[in-house]
Amino acid sequence: MSLVLKTSNIKEEFQIRKGIRTLTLKALRGVDLELNEQEILSIVGESGCGKTTLLRVLARIYEPTDGIIELFGKRIPKKLSRSKELEFRKSVQMVFQDPFASLNPTKKIEHVLKRPLKIHKIENEREVIESVLSDVELTPTDNYLTKFPHELSGGQRQRVIFARAIITKPQIILADEPTSMLDVSIKSGILNLMMKLKEEHQISFIHVTHDLAAAKYVSDRIAVMYAGIVVEEGNAKDIVNKPLHPYSMLLKEAAPDPERNSAANMLDVGEPPSLIDPPPGCPFEPRCKYAKSECKGPVGFREVDGRKVRCVLY
Ligand code: SF4
């Protein structure tokens, strides 16, 4: 399986004002990830763990403070010429969380889909549009092209957004919580669509979610993020069925389960650390029931049963 995207030691810091002081918020503190061809990698974690920041860095919305991003084996420089930037945007598309805010309410779906074709000078507009609408299962085409976004359901809008994303034939889609604002009954349809696009269009996905069940359903691999770093990474089913890192265990415990008391489903054992002054050792130490003195020092990855775990227990 060939590598399509690789990050090495990605850091992202934001300067924030507090009164007369300027503080540095370390949103990403050294993230190494690899995405293979035709693979879905889900990044899972609580809000504030850095997963959306990472996606925005990968989409070149944010410039990383430090680190290297390689696309198809080539390092992406900080500054790209206009033509290289267009080439990047053609190969790497983004799907945002909110299908209501992602479409211009004043434009019909036909306009939404024609725009990337114009930007990337793709010909045979009608044929291409019919083909992508069929790929995302919005047919007959004419029923959708003349509609405004408000005339579609949330699920249909998210399918239009996926149609817009695949219209340039990207190799990678960065999907930021694509199902979090949809009803439960519609969610599985969008996850199935992602798997279909992976198989039929050979697209690789980085899928950001806080929903462990969705990650298990759709992913080949999962990376669990906590306080700006990856703490466990490996095969999706292994991580969900038998998490090794205590934070992954807590995430599994917190996932909704109708067979358990909902009170037990809360992430109620403390808060993530401040990213303004994160602890030098394991960031999960203040919440971890297995913590010991060595957890206060730097904790690197261990290889355990084919996965990587950042914990001294292994
Ligand atoms: Fe817990 Fe220590 Fe492992 Fe961190 S390194 S998760 S504190 S046992």
At 260, is the pLDDT very low, low, confident or very high (cuts 50, 70, 90)? Answer: low
Query: What is the Å distance from ligand 1's center to 49 Cα?
Result: 17
At 52-90, the pLDDT tens digits run: 999 999 999 999 999 999 999 999 998 999 999 999 999
pLDDT at position 273: 85
Mean pLDDT calculated for residue range 132-140 = 93
pTM of the model as a whole: 0.93
**Residues at CB less than 6 angstroms from ligand 1:** 245-246, 282, 284-285, 288, 290-291, 295, 299, 311-313
Ligand 1 midpoint to CA 145 (Å): 53
pLDDT tens digit sequence for 199-223 = 999 999 999 999 999 999 999 999 9
Percent of the chain scoring above 90 in pLDDT: 82
Ligand 1 atom closest to Cα of residue 288: 1
Torsion angle defined by CA atoms of residues 254, 256, 259 and 262, in that order, rounded to the nearest 10 degrees: 70
CB within 8 Å of 229: residues ≥ 6 apart = 28, 29, 30, 31, 50, 283, 310
Q: What are the backbone dihedrals phi and psi of residue 225, each rounded to the nearest 5 degrees, phi first?
A: -110, 145
pLDDT computed for residue 99 by the predictor: 77
pLDDT reading at 277 higher than 90: no
On the question of pLDDT at 233 being above 90, the answer is yes
User: Average pLDDT of the chain?
Assistant: 92
Alpha helices in 180-255 (DSSP H): 184-201, 212-218, 236-241, 246-254
User: How do residues 5-21 score in pLDDT, each as one tens digit?
Assistant: 999 999 999 999 988 89
Q: Which atom of ligand 1 is nearest to the CA of 289?
A: 1
**Cis peptide preceding 64, ω within 30 of 0:** no
Terminal alpha carbon distance of the chain: 28
Confidence grade of residue 143 (pLDDT, cut at 50, 70, 90): confident
Of residues 179, 149, 177, the one with CA closest to residue 164: 149
Confidence of residue 264 (pLDDT cuts 50, 70, 90): very low
Greatest mean pLDDT among 43-57, 91-105, 137-151: 43-57
Q: What is the pLDDT of residue 259?
A: 56
Separation of alpha carbons 3 and 204, rounded Å: 10
Percent of the chain residues past pLDDT 70, beyond the cut: 96
